[in-house]
Every structure is written in structure tokens, then in C-alpha cells.
Structure 1
Amino acid sequence: MKIRSWNNNLKTRLIGEALFNMLFWMYFPFITVYFGAALGNHIAGILMTVPPIFSLIGSLLGGALADRWGRRPVMLLGAFLQTVMFALFAVSWSHWIDYIAFIGLGLGGAIYRPASSAMVADLVPAQSRRQVFATFATANNIGAVLGPALGAVFFFHYRQELLWTCALVLLLYFIAMYAIVHETLPRSAKNPEAPASISRAFKEQWKGYGVILRDKVFLVYTLAGIFALIPIMQLDLYLSVYVINEVPAQPLFPWNGDTLLLSGTEIYGWLLGFNGLLFVLFILPVTKWFNHWQERNVFILSTLLAGGGTFLVGISTNIWFLFFVTVIFTFGEIVRSPVTQSFISRYAPEHARGQYMGADSLQATIGKFLAPVTVFLSGWMPPMGIFSLILALALISTALYIQLFRMYVEKPEAAG
């Protein structure tokens, strides 16, 4: 599905989200450092455990409201809340106000995302969803590659200007959505007899989430996703600890002697940048290559590549071997990314698509809580013990995906 044939809703959002994500990655990687310098690393570490809880609440709320109010109003609400929070961050007179604004930014983004994903599912035929979701992921990850390099300068030296720019871009995006984006909520999702009171409306929505979480297929899908994401998340967690502490300084090109000698910290930075570059360059072609694969096989391949590639990191500390295994576990992440959204958009009933998109965030939220256990255990276990645990989690995820697709048979169009 070529971009020129996209609905105006999708074109507007692709441009707006690409610009915002560039700015997002100019401040987000440095937030923990910022609060650590201001409040101490111990307090900052505790404070960083709170935003994922608000993000989970925002995702569930945004998904529920997207099925009740419509996609467009919820996306406008999320964008407006983020605009206000960026402005508050820019004029803040206290680090605690900064922290409140940071939580508000996460909440606004979490409210926005389920409605955004549901709108893609509303507008795009099932056989084209992987490609469209992959295009959005590419736009987002361009910012993830370029943003940190720019943010290292702008966030610490021109923070207010950066935050005001973020607020302005989001305000312009809000105006563009208001003027161009139209509602896509399917007729089957509209409820002419909506509850009169807000409290009763929310009670019905939370009851709806109870029904979703009792859905055995969705529950197995969520558990499989949690075990699959823990290995994928290790790049920012245990791999940083391992590479920085265990990988010796070595030249990038052995035949040049010590002319390009890299420390463990610098090697980790190169691996991180290489991971982001691979994601940007290959997510669209890889999605196209696997477009005719069944989702079952894509999920299994992704999990084995991510878990197996991460396990192989512990085999050798040679820099070029580390680049090689980075390719393996990055491709595991690339293969998985568009398929998760296309699967849930197909599985979810039309009238509850937003709620299912919101509940889908449980995987990432629970994964973020559990993934740091590898860093905690590294104080008692040798590196290969940690890498073996990561591989075991990937194998558990693979078994759960096999069970999932015994319970749920893909529709014919699922493979494209």
C-alpha cells in the first residue's frame, strides 16, 4: 500500500508523529540523568518506576474512550495534554514540577496511542496493515536514531528552547488533526444508549476490560508477548551493564592498531546506534519480505532471533562479533514490530478495537517491570547464567506462541 494512496488521516499523522518523535528522542534519553543530577540517582531510580504505571492507566483509559467517544477526540485529548505538559515543563520553577510534567507527557502519549492504532485498523485493509504499521515505526525510529545525538547538545544547553519547540510542534499537530483528521469509529462500535453518568460509563468500560482479560486467547497472547519482550528490552538494561563492564577496550579496525581504540562504554554506544540504524533501514523491506508469512511463524522467528541473538552476546567480547549478534537480535525486534499491531487489530472485534489496543499495552508495561531483574540478578549470577535465563524466557515465549495458534486459527487474509 503506497503512501500516496493513503487516506489523509494517515498522511497527516505520519508527518506529525515523525516530527514529534524526533523531538521526543531529543529529551527522553536524558531524563533519568537529569533527575539523577538534580535529586540523586537513588531517588531518580525510584521515581522512574512510577511513569509506566500512569502509562498503563492512560493506555487502558485511552482505549476505552476511543471506543466510546471515537478515535479523533481521544487523539486530540492526548495531543493537547502533551502540549500543556511541555509548556509546564518549559516554565517550571521546580524539579518536582518537571517530574509532574514528565508523568503528564507519558499519560498524554498513552491516551493517544490506542486510538491512533485503532484508527489505522479502521482505515487500512487487513492485508496491508503490516506495511502501514511498519511505515509508522520507520518514521518513529528515524527520530530514535537522530534525536539523541541532537538532544545531547540541546537538552542540556538549550532545554527551555527545546521544550517550547516541542510544545509548538504538538500545538500545530493538534490544529492539523482538528482541521484534517476525520472520525473513523465503525458504526458497529457506536452505542446509541450510552450510560447517562460518567461514573457509570467508566464502570462499564472497566467491566469490558475484565471481559478482555478473561479471553483465554488474548491472555496467552499477552503472556507470550511479555516473555518475548524481556529479551528484546535487554539492550537498554543488562547488555549495557555487560558491555560496559565486561567487554575490554579494543580497536574498531584491528589492522590500524590503537588509532580507533574504543572503551566498553564507547562500544556500547556504537552497538546502540547500529541497532537504531538497522531498524530504520530494514523495517520496511523486512516487513515486505515476511508479508506472506503466517503471523504464528513470524512471532516464533522473532522470539528465537531476539532470545538467541542476545544469548550469543555472552559467547565472545570481540567487537565485530558483537556487531554480528546485534544484527541477529535487532532483526528479531524488526520482524515482530508491525505484526503485533496487525494481529491485535484483526483479532479484536470492531466494537472493542480501542479497548483491545489499550489492553495490548499490558505486555510492554509488565515487561518493563520484569526486564530489569536481569540487572538485579547479575550481582549473584555469572554473565552466561544471565544470558541462559534470557534464552530460556525466549523459549517459553515460543512455546506460548505455539499454544496460542493452536487455540486461534488465523483468517485467510492474515498472511496477506
Structure 2
Amino acid sequence: MRNWYRATIGGLPRLYWYLWSGMLINRVGGFVALVLSLYLTSDRHLTLSVAGLVGGSYGIGGIAGVLLGGVLADRWGRRPTLLLAHFGAVVMLAGLALAEPIWLIAALAALLGLMHAMPGPAFVAAIVDVTPAADRSRAFNLQFWAFNLGMAVASVLAGALAEMSFTLLFAVDASATLVTAVLILWKIPETRPAARTASASASASASAKPSGGLHTALTDRAYMLFVALSLLLAILSTQTSTILPLAITADGLRPSVYGSVVAYAALLIVVGQLFVPRLIDRWRKGTALAVANVFLGLGFAAVSLADGVGGYLAAATIWTVGSMIAAPPNAAVIAELSPEALRGRYQSVFYLTFPAASFIAPAAGGVSLQYLGDWHWVVCGALGLLAAAGHLLIQPARERRVARQLEAERFAVPVAG
């Protein structure tokens, strides 16, 4: 037990644990994004398609938030960006709970999406700032674990609170966000290296400014093909927080059933993710991603057959296996394709897939579910199979690209983006 503690938890700086605690508290209280579509249809009485479009505005805000959060974290600093995002989210949550006109609800949902997406780059940058390089892998593993644990707790609470009062749900979410903001204000100083050594940072950046920019990632064919396939995976995964609650309630089940299903899936990840790397260690990365997308597709296709709690739990088991298999090779492929000097820009392009999916999944999914019914889930299954085939097709060319890049780096030859 002592060896496990040292290998998994021990030795990380105290400031990291403040950041970790803030992320966990905020995730546990992050209800609204999980049940926004349910709130819009049951409390605001919007149609499925209109609710999907309004919910999609949350994703549009998230796209802007990812980019804005990264820029502000580097220009203003990590701490100001985190404070702005969390205090801003509190205001947006209060406004969304009280808003009546549909246009205002859509605008506030977009701003809430922006505020929720902004902290991501700043949190990651702060963890890198305060954690020694040798400990960063453990730090991010624990962050991933905290995210899924928080998701599990939030899902159960969200379903229960939705049955009691949506106003109470918004109030608890805002309170958790406020607690995180106060923790940041109280315990987390600015961690940006430039803030501590401004003159040294200025001279270093002048002498070691990386070549290329965001356009380098956007014009990297091999990378953008991978990002496009990752977007399909993200659209499938986002079904759980956008369209799945509508399907569950359409089957006459209580909102708490949805919370239990998502909590079950998150707990599977918390437990099972520890064993996945050893399972797929010998697989080629594209093969692992293809298998992951097949499981995701089959899992969501199985929702078309589910009409009770057992059916939804079985479907969740299948798609969660896909999510667990996808995580390690996804991170490895991004690292392989990213030039060393442009890793941040390449990461920002990849992470845009999540807010993009947060728009596409509810906007298209609401219409699809309304007019196709259970066939919507069959379409999701087909998307999973399409993404799996795509990963197998691009795998040889991507591996050749990685081999050339490694060879060039070995002989210190610059690699074109």
C-alpha cells in the first residue's frame, strides 16, 4: 500500500492538490451541462429541435472559450483567467435560471459554454507550471480520475435535483462554482513563469520564438485527418450529455435513471482505466482507435433496443469500453504528430473537437431524434463504424509520417509542419 501511494499520489506539490481539489469540486457541482436539454424541454417546454439548437449554443460558446482561455492564460496569467471564468460562470448560471425569452436563454447558454471552456487551458498550464516533469504523467492521470469521479457524483445528484427543482439545481451548480473560485482566490497564486521572471522570459522568448503558428496545425494534413476522426468520436461521446437524457425520459423513465446510467459509466472508467494500457500496449494505435470506435458505435446503437434500466446499463457498458480504449492512443498520437515547438497549438486544435461536438451533437441530434426516433441511435452506430474504418485507412500514412519525423529529429533536421 505504501509503495502504491508513493507511485500514484506521493510527492506531488501542495499547489497541485489545490488545483486538483478545485477541479473536483467544480466537476461534482457541474450539473447544468448534463441536464440542459432536459431543462429546456421539461421546464421551458421547448420542442426537441429547438432545445437542441439552444443547447448547441453552449457548444458554440465552448469553441470560443477554448481559444480565449488559452490566449488569456498566456497573456493575463493562469489565476486571472481561472477567476474570470469561474465568477463569470456563477453570473451566467444565475441568469440562465431566471431568463424567460428563448433568445436570452440561448445567449446565456453560449456565454456559459464560454465560461466553462475557458478554465481548461489555464488549469493544464498551471499543472505543468507547478509539477516537475517527471511527475506530470501521474498528475494528469489523477486529474483524469478526478474528472470522472466528479462526473459520477454530479450525474447522480443532477438526476435527483432535476426531479426536485431545476432552480435548486442551478443554485447548487453556482454554489460549487463559487467555492472553486474562492479556493483559487485564496490558495492559488499566479503560476505563469513569465510572471515570476518577466525579464528572463522576455529575453528567452525573443531568442527562442518557435517557428510556425496555429495555421501550421490547421494545414497539417495527417494531423487534421486524425482530428476529423476524433470529432466523430467526440460527437458520439457527447450523446450521453445531450440526447441520451431525452431518450430515457421518452421511454417513461425518471430523470434519476439518466443520472444513474451516466454515473455507472463514469465509475467504470474510474475503475477500468487502470487496466486498459496493459491490455492494448501491443496494439498499433490506429487499431486501438478503430476498436474503440466500434465499441462506441455498438454501444450507442444498442440504445435503440433499450427500454428499461437494464438495457441502458448494458449499452453504457459497451460504449464505456470504447471510451476507455480510446484515451491512451489518442494522447499518444497527438504527441507523435505535434512538432516540439508547436505542441500547445496542436493541442488547442485537438481540444476544439469537444466544444464543436457540444454544438453538433445536440443541434443535429435533437432534429434526428425528433424525426428518426430510435433510428437516431442506429445512425450513431454507423458513425462509429465509419470512424473505425477511417483510423485503419490513415494508419499506414500516419505511421510513415511519424517515422520520418523521428528520423529527422534524430539528425536535428527541421521538420515541416
How big is each residue's C-alpha offset from its partner over 1:365-394, in whole Å with a ceiling of 9 and x where there is no partner? 333344454664463587385355234323
**Contact 1:304/1:395 (CA < 8 Å) preserved in 2?**
yes
Counterparts of 1:4-403 in structure 2, within 5 Å, are 4-25=10-31, 27-36=32-41, 39-42=44-47, 44-66=51-73, 68-69=74-75, 73-87=77-91, 89-90=93-94, 94-95=99-100, 102-120=109-127, 131-151=138-158, 152-153=160-161, 156=166, 158=168, 161-162=171-172, 165-176=175-186, 178-179=188-189, 182-183=191-192, 192=203, 208-236=213-241, 270-287=260-277, 290=280, 295-312=285-302, 323-337=313-327, 339-341=329-331, 343-344=333-334, 347-349=337-339, 351-372=341-362, 373=364, 376-377=367-368, 379=371, 383=375, 385-386=378-379, 388-399=381-392, 402=395, 403=397
Q: Distance in 2 between matches of 1:81 and 1:314?
A: 38
The one-letter code matched in structure 2 to 1:150 is L
CA distance in 2, matches of 1:128, 1:339: 20
Task: Render the CA deviation track for 1:391-410: whole Å, top value 9, x for unaligned.
Answer: 43232342355243343249
Contact 1:243-1:268 within 8 A present in 2 as well: yes
Verify the 8 A CA contact 1:62 1:111 in the aligned structure 2. yes
Contact 2:152 2:262 (8 Å CA) reproduced: no
TM-score (norm 2): 0.72
CA contact (8 A) 1:267 1:319 kept: yes
Distance 2:84 2:315 in 1: 41
Secondary structure, counterpart of 2:115 in structure 1: helix
Which one-letter code corresponds to 1:111 in the other structure? Answer: M
Letter matched to residue 218 of structure 1: Y
* Identity across matched positions, percent: 18
Structure 1 residue aligned with 2:402, among 371, 387, 408?
408
Distance 2:356 2:391 in 1: 18
Structure 2, unpaired ranges of 5+: 1-6, 408-417
For residues 30 and 241 of structure 1, the distance between their equivalents in structure 2, rounded to whole angstroms, comes to: 9
The change in CA–CA distance for 1:164 and 1:63 in structure 2 (over 3 A counts) is closer
Provide the C-alpha distance between the structure 2 equivalents of 1:39 and 1:65, rounded to a whole number of angstroms: 35
Cα distance, 1:296 vs structure 2: 4.1
Determine helix, strand or coil for the equivalent of 2:352: helix
The 3 A distance-change label for structure 1 pair 2 and 110 is same
CA shift, 1:38, in A, is 6.2
Whether 1:2 and 2:2 are equivalent positions in the alignment is no
Shift in CA distance, 123/140, structure 1 to aligned 2, threshold 3 Å: same
Paired amino acid for 1:78: L
Instruction: State the alpha-carbon separation in 1 of the partners of residues 305 and 58 from structure 2.
Output: 35
Compute the displacement of 1:22 (Å): 0.8
How big is the shift at 1:14? Answer: 0.9
Q: Is the 8 A contact 1:62 1:114 kept in 2?
A: yes
Tell me if the contact between 2:297 and 2:382 (Cα under 8 Å) persists in the aligned partners.
Answer: no
Structure 1 pair 209/177, CA: closer, same or farther in 2 (3 Å)? farther
* Change in 2 beyond 3 A, CA 1:193/1:281: closer
Q: Is the 8 A contact 1:88 1:101 kept in 2?
A: yes
1:56 CA drift (Å): 0.8
Q: Cα distance, 1:54 vs. partner?
A: 1.9
Pairwise CA RMSD: 4.3
Quickly say closer, same or farther: Cα 1:229–1:94, change in 2 above 3 A.
closer
C-alpha separation in 2, matches of 1:244 and 1:88: 27
How many angstroms does 1:167 deviate by?
Answer: 4.7
- Say if 1:14 and 1:216 are closer, same or farther in 2 by CA, change over 3 A: same
Q: CA deviation at 1:305?
A: 2.3
Using the TM superposition, give the Cα deviation of residue 75 of structure 1 relative to its aligned residue in structure 2, in angstroms.
Answer: 4.8
How many angstroms apart in 1 are the aligned matches of 2:147 and 2:43? Answer: 29
**When the two structures are superposed, what TM-score results if normalisation uses the length of structure 1?**
0.72
Structure 2: distance between partners of 1:160 and 1:86:
9
Contact 2:217 2:346 (8 Å CA) reproduced: yes
Cα deviation digits, residues 337-378 of structure 1 (max 9, x gap): 355346535654454443333222222233334445466446
> Judging changes above 3 Å, is the alpha-carbon distance between structure 1 residues 377 and 50 closer, same or farther for their aligned structure 2 residues?
closer
Aligned-pair CA distance for 1:331: 1.5
Quickly say closer, same or farther: Cα 1:147–1:120, change in 2 above 3 A: same
- Unmatched tracts of structure 1, length 5 or more: 196-203, 250-262
In the TM superposition, residue 64 of structure 1 has moved relative to its aligned partner by 3.6
8 Å CA contact 1:307, 1:390 repeated in 2: yes
Amino acid at match of 1:407: R
Give the C-alpha shift of residue 313 in structure 1: 5.0
